[in-house]
Amino acid sequence: MRSIGRTAYRIRKDWMLYLLILPAVVYFILFAYLPVVDGTNISFQDYRFVGESKYIGFQNYQTVFDTAGFWRVFRNTIILGFSNVVLTAFIPMFLAMMLNEVMFSPWKRFVQTILYLPHLFSWVVVGGIWIFILAPNGGIVNAIRGLFGADPVFFLVKENLARPLYIGINLWKQAGYVCILFLAAIAGINPELYEAAMIDGAGGFKRAMYITVPELLRTLKVVLLLNVMGALRIFDQIYVMRNEVVAPKVDVLMYYVYIRGLEQFDLGYAAAISVFIFAITLVITLTSRRLMKYHV
Amino acid sequence: MRSNQISTSLFSRRLFVIANNIILVVLVLSMLVPLINVLAVSFTTDLESFDRTIKLFPREPSTVGYKILFERVAILRPFLNNTIVTVAGTLLHVFFTSMAGYVLTKQRFIGKALLVLMVTLPMMIPFQMIIIPVFVMMRRLGLMDTLYALILIDIVATFSILLMKNYFEGIPVSLAESALMDGAKEFTIFSRIYLPLALPGIATISIFQFVSRWNQFLPAVLFINSPTKYTLQIALRSLVVNQELTSTTQQVANNTRMAGIVISIIPLIFVYVFAQKYFIKGIMIGAIKE
């Protein structure tokens, strides 16, 4: 009895604290927790905005797994996602090591600043820039080819070029950002390690291989994890850059969810895919956390 | 013998330095040439913008691209909408997340563990995974096709709350205690003592919010239908994307399309130039937390 009274007193005394955190809590309930519950719920329904939504058990999931289109976009997501995870970790790492060898610091700062620039831009801007650069009329790539007498190529509607181009453009956008993480990690390496290696007569290449790379492994793990978490969420780039010709090679899960759910209003079906992606992301994230902890 | 060795190693070092810098120059050019190209084309005439030449400078400079952008494409409305959403969203975000971050620095109060869990767990739930139910929620709240929907989305984020908490924890408790002695109220302590001392944290959050809200795309695709409420990214998309393939829509020349890109990145470059140190700080904190 007395303790209830005391609890009530303490809650009343700290009312301001609860008030201050209230907006955050309400937001997360409305736009994180409830949607997770709702989403799972919708995935078991023949969901309608108007009229009654019937529960239909696992039928949506059944339909998802039976659709050829679903497995095609699943495959695309894995291919694009995996390439992005690997390339936007290792290449920025080498970039950072190269940049670290630059002695003239204004030049180094300049390179770093410029490399980071595309990360600031939206996918609409980056996609728009590349669509233009690669265009047959007015694009700079075809203009350069023209100097050598080559005919213009419409790069973005070449089916076999689509994935490499999308992966490359993603790298172009993200490399500078990831590079900054590695540069900071390099700056944190104990300089005595290098001095000792120099005295032992290790050349620049050996110092990079046996000191810098091992010292960067921790950062590499963090970057790989960040990339893995983002891998299945690719949406903006595809939404902006896709066209019907290359669609079979580049349409990804999130794009599929959007089209099926919010353009064709097959909400139950789309929700089932979302739940599935969410589950996979969780599994992949947890396993890669494990793997990296124990084996690197 | 020994001096011979040194001179070969010096030679290979020099070779490496040259190769290294050549690669870096190529990389920088791969970033700069497209951007210069975009800028140059935005100032060409309609005809020149379709030329198959390398354009790093317009042959006959012209602002016709910008004229069409503002007159026929009517980019001003989306630009203003974007500004409203970005400014309002960023201010409210800073306000709400610093309030929450402040509460989490408090030592003991009932339900703290639960509240900590409630504001950190959502980091595991990416927006992309819940677009269908969030869409349903926005309909329920009656916010579809309003700019409020875009301001509301991401109005708080775990990342910002934790960042503010870290900044607040660096402030000596004695300051708050002496204020308490003087009879100051909790909110006064927060707003008069803590907030001003956490300005670097606020700057970092604001800049990141500004950039991500300025570029906000998926929520606008989901929640906005009427052209009068289009944000910049939505308007820009229909302007720059794949017009060669959907030539049924009226043709807009390359100069207008590039002008659209130029005006949408100017605010970003402006922020980047003036706040570079906060960018790097924010990136580091973001990665370390993981």
pLDDT, mean of residues B136-152: 95
Which of A34, A124, A267 best tests the B interface by mutation, with the highest count of B CBs <10 A? Answer: A124
Same domain, B128 and B211: yes
Same domain, B47 and B177: no
Closest partner residue to A32 (CB to CB) among B96, B122, B237 is B122
> Quick one: pLDDT band at residue B2, thresholds 50, 70, 90?
low
With a pLDDT cut of 90, the percent of chain A lying above it is 53
Residues of B in contact with A223 (CB under 8 A): 287
Residues of A in contact with B265 (CB under 8 A): 120-121, 125
Name residue A54's beta-bridge partners. Answer: A46
Residues of B in contact with A36 (CB under 8 A): 125, 130, 133
Task: Indicate whether A288 pLDDT > 60.
Answer: yes
Name the CA dihedral angle for A107, A110, A115, A121, rounded to a multiple of 10 degrees.
-170
**Distance from A257 to chain B by nearest Cα, in Å?**
8
Which of B14, B96, B130 best tests the A interface by mutation, with the highest count of A CBs <10 A? Answer: B130
In a domain, B274, yes or no: no
A202-206, B140-144, B220-224, B255-259: which range is least confident on average? A202-206
Final residue of a domain: which of B53, B68, B83? B68
The answer to whether B43 touches B255, Cβ cutoff 8 Å, is yes
Q: What CA–CA distance (Å, rounded) separates A224 from B267?
A: 31
Residues of A in contact with B244 (CB under 8 A): 135-137, 154
Final residue of a domain: which of B25, B44, B68? B68
Which of A28, A177, A244 best tests the B interface by mutation, with the highest count of B CBs <10 A? Answer: A28
In a domain, B25, yes or no: yes
Q: What CA–CA distance (Å, rounded) separates B194 from B105?
A: 11
Half-sphere exposure of A60 (CA within 13 A, CB side): 27
Whole domain around residue B81: which residue ranges?
A: 74-240
> Quick one: pLDDT band at residue B1, thresholds 50, 70, 90?
very low
Same domain, B85 and B64: no
Residues of B in contact with A236 (CB under 8 A): 217-218
Same domain, B25 and B81: no
In a domain, B23, yes or no: yes
> What is the ipTM metric for this complex?
0.89
At B155 the pLDDT is: 96
DSSP secondary structure letters along A189-204: S-HHHHHHHHHTT--H
Structurally, how many domains does chain B consist of? Answer: 2
Same domain, B118 and B142: yes
Type of residue at B77: R
Same domain, B38 and B141: no
Same domain, B64 and B78: no
In a domain, B156, yes or no: yes
Which of A13, A132, A253, A278 best tests the B interface by mutation, with the highest count of B CBs <10 A? Answer: A132
Q: Which residue of A has its CA nearest to B258?
A: A129
Same domain, B28 and B90: no
What is the 3-class SS of B253-280, one letter each residue?
Answer: CHHHHHHHHHHHHHHHHHHHHHCHHHHH
**Distance from B172 to chain A by nearest Cα, in Å?**
19
At A98 the pLDDT is: 93
Q: Which residue of A has its CA nearest to B220?
A: A236
| Domain limits, chain A | 2-43, 59-295
Same domain, B97 and B132: yes
In a domain, B256, yes or no: no
Same domain, B22 and B80: no
Closest partner residue to B129 (CB to CB) among A117, A154, A277 is A277
Contact yes or no for B51 and A138 at CB 8 A: yes
What pLDDT digit, counting tens, does each position of B56-109 carry? 888 889 999 999 999 888 899 999 999 999 999 999 999 999 999 999 998 878
Closest partner residue to B187 (CB to CB) among A16, A117, A258 is A16
> Quick one: pLDDT band at residue A218, thresholds 50, 70, 90?
confident
Class assignment of domain A59-295? Answer: mainly alpha
Q: Which residues of B237-250 are buried (b: 16+ CB within 10 A; e: fewer)?
A: bbbbbbbeeeeeee
Same domain, B38 and B168: no
Same domain, B86 and B154: yes
Nearest partner of A182 among A115, A89, A261, judged by Cα: A89
Helix (H, G, I), strand (E, B) or coil at B154: coil
- Take residue B110 and report the two structure tokens written for it: 């009932």
What pLDDT digit, counting tens, does each position of A231-244 carry? 888 999 999 999 98
- The helix or strand, by DSSP H or E, that contains position A244, with its residue range, turns out to be none
Residues of B in contact with A5 (CB under 8 A): none
With a pLDDT cut of 70, the percent of chain A lying above it is 98
Final residue of a domain: which of B12, B45, B68? B68
Closest partner residue to A20 (CB to CB) among B51, B102, B287 is B102
- Take residue B75 and report the two structure tokens written for it: 């980019």
In a domain, B269, yes or no: no
